[in-house]
Structure 1
Amino acid sequence: MSKTRAALEQARGALAGNRPDLARACLTRSFDELVADVQAAAMAGDLASAAGDYRLANRFFDSVLTREPNLVGVRFNRAATARFLGELESAEKDYDAVIAVDPADSEAWLNRSHLRRQTSVRNHIAQIETALGGDHPAWQHRMRLLYALAKEREDLGHVAQAFAALDAATKLRRCHLDYDIDDDLAALAAIRSTFTSSTLASMGEGFSGAAPIFVLGLPRSGTTLVERILEAHPDVVSGGEMSAFARALEHCAKASGFRGGGKHALIPFSKTLDPVMLGEFYHALASAGRDPSLHIIDKLPLNYLYIGLIAKALPRARIVHVHKPPLAVGWGMFKTLFVQGYPFSYDQVELGRYIAAFHRLMDHWSRELPGRIHHVFYDDLVRDPTTGIRELVAACGLDWNEDCLSPHKGSTANTSHSAAQIREPIHTRGLSGWRDFAPYLEPMRKAMLAEGLVTE
């Protein structure tokens, strides 16, 4: 086996073993050998990206594109890593080049539209509308172009045209989903009825050797901003949107005799798990390759499903819930094309019902676990960042650090839907944007009204 192939296999093995740090070390150590071959360098760039080292990934991609500038797949990947790093102009140039060579790459169109706020003198609306007039057979292609058009129309204040494009895009996405909202709502209700204060008290205490910070809430609620604020602290490192707790839960359930049956069987079974085993296994997954002296941020929004188990398995964990007004967060989700998950977000009525059920669940956790959840109201945070950030830092058990006031200055990568916006200072610009679309959000509002979440 050649040195380059051996290095690639070693990096893949490290990633498969949940050791991205070892993958990064291997790729760095073998850099010169790997860049000598274009194909190996391209694969190494993908592996470095998967390991979370986007600067290393871009070094590999740069080496490829200097020799083979028309490899659009590599150029697309370099654009993505540049976006994660906040190098937005470089990302836009690469997306432009990808689209010029392959106009059918609708992901490039959509990602490019989200890189910046479009203006009347600098936008891609005419290009997108021309592309929509083509005859590409894939529904996904048309859907992404419609999302891109909606984003750019919204930036320019073209409310009716933006919503028309978005409405078409979401309907296209929803009709290709096999999803039952009632199944999800039943699961949320089952979590509430299973994890009562008496049940939680009977579970005993878990693993006290870790103090992670869980930042959670609905997507588009401001969790990324809170993550960046905390990540600016020298005693904190972010693990991003980790699936570590769900994986730990699955592992411990199987080890404890769970024989399957889906989430409706797992919910009641999970209250029988040993909280020490669950906490230890979570910590092993979350901390692998990271400095054990630092607090690790776990920013997976869906961790709101597991707050009861988190509180018992990790008694020193800090839990931060980020809020926005229901219609504001609903609008943010409705206009987002998620890579995976959140299938309820493509239909206004389903979205309204889910958000109401989410609020019932969070009210339940706050009632059953008094004092365990620190609530951050996004609107208050951005209107008075100094006060809100000081309260947040204290609630997470951290000493005060001035760097937390300037999260936009952070140089770490971010892969969320907010990867472009977080490079700006904290602002209030987007607080009322959803109100422009309020007349079009009546189905969502009425669904929330029927659930008692909003009033007339």
Structure 2
Amino acid sequence: MARADLGFALGRMLDEAGAYDEAFATYAQANRDSRLIPGPPGARYDRAAQETVVDQLIAAFPDAGDGEGGEDAPLFICGMFRSGSTLTEQILAAHSRVTPGGELELLPALVRRDLQPWPDSLKTLDEGRIASLRAAYLDGFRTRLPGADVITDKRPDNFLHLGLIKTLFPQARIIHTRRDPLDNCLSCWFLHLSHAMPWALDLEDTAHWLIQQERLMDHWKSLWPDDIHTLDYDALVADPEEKVRGLLDFCGLAWEDGCLSFHALDNAVRTASVWQVREPLYRRASGRWRNYAPHLGPLKAALGRA
């Protein structure tokens, strides 16, 4: 563990010094060292298994359904890890009506505890069971955030659970964050992430995970095009006010100037983006991949951008 940690730290120092070739080689070794750390079962990424998961979810939700209720749902924020989800939540948290929930474990916990085997269990859900699950979820976040008006539930991997979200909360609004795929993959690979995200230890695995995420999101958007808002990080940093206005409109929130000063918030942030969201919006992370262009042939090919 220590060897890998030191490697990621050295890679960051070399990147900040502009020594990009050395940084890339150092990050590659750090990721190799991380793969050698013993992990729990399933700590190695299985591309075929992930494709099967996405296939099953698409099959489990062939249409939008006609459910009602769930107007008291939070705002759900999801997408690829390191695509701007923490930034999006901070922008919304700067609004006077919004309380950030952070990376809540509520939905994954429902799936693990009450909806096995997943997603086959969805076939037997009746209205009573749906109401019970909805109540369990709402009780969970009301206990954590009593009296809050508008709450955000920000978990990047909740893109896997959008079908469940729309089953429990047919009126739910979902914000999908994304950014340039090359920048996104590199940003994941440059961090020493948990082995719960084994796809991040290999650039081509990261590309595969991203492509599967986009494939599933395309399906969700085909079912609920008016209820899913895509916020592009690169467009946001290029024109903050326009994109923040669009975000607030989608969320049914009035404009507040403070949403452009999100970096001044004195709230707890428990993600890898904590320091980035303490700064005003900047553009230096857009197109960062160009610093590493000579090394990205395999990643571009994996993304279909050869």
TM class by shorter-chain length? Answer: over 0.9
Quote the RMSD (CA, aligned, Å).
1.6
TM-score normalised by the chain length of structure 2: 0.92
| Bigger RCO (CA 8 Å, 6+ sep) | 2
Q: Which residue of 2 aligns with 1:207?
A: 70
Matched, 1:241 2:126: no
Q: 1:242, 1:357 → 2: CA distance?
A: 23
Q: Which residue of 1 aligns with 2:16?
A: 155
Q: Which residue of 1 aligns with 2:264?
A: 409
Displacement after TM superposition at 1:281 (Å): 1.1
More helix by share: 1
Displacement after TM superposition at 1:408 (Å): 0.6
Q: Which residue of 1 aligns with 2:121?
A: 269
Matched, 1:350 2:205: yes
Displacement after TM superposition at 1:292 (Å): 3.3
Q: 2:47 aligns with which of 162, 181, 186?
A: 181
Matched length: 298
Q: Which residue of 1 aligns with 2:57?
A: 191
Matched, 1:224 2:74: no
Q: 2:147, 2:111 → 1: CA distance?
A: 22
Matched, 1:291 2:146: yes
Q: Secondary structure at the match of 2:48?
A: helix
Matched, 1:423 2:278: yes
Displacement after TM superposition at 1:384 (Å): 0.5
Q: Secondary structure at the match of 2:76?
A: strand
- The gaps in structure 2 that reach 5 residues or longer are none
Q: Which residue of 2 aligns with 1:41?
A: none
Q: Which amino acid aligns with 1:217?
A: G
Distance change (3 Å), C-alpha of 1:304 and 1:243? same
Q: Which amino acid aligns with 1:335?
A: F
- Give identity over the alignment, percent: 32
Matches within 5 A, 1:60-75: none
Q: 1:298, 1:272 → 2: CA distance?
A: 26
Displacement after TM superposition at 1:248 (Å): 2.4
Displacement after TM superposition at 1:334 (Å): 1.1
Q: 1:154, 1:405 → 2: CA distance?
A: 28
Contact 2:94 2:258 in 1 (8 A): yes
Q: Which amino acid aligns with 1:403?
A: G
Distance change (3 Å), C-alpha of 1:446 and 1:292? same
Contact 1:195 1:271 in 2 (8 A): no
Displacement after TM superposition at 1:206 (Å): 4.8
Displacement after TM superposition at 1:350 (Å): 1.4
Deviation per CA, 1:315-361, whole angstroms, max 9, x where unpaired?
A: 33221001112111111111111135221111122112121111111
Q: Secondary structure at the match of 1:266?
A: coil
Q: Which amino acid aligns with 1:391?
A: G
Q: Secondary structure at the match of 1:375?
A: strand
Distance change (3 Å), C-alpha of 1:430 and 1:399? same
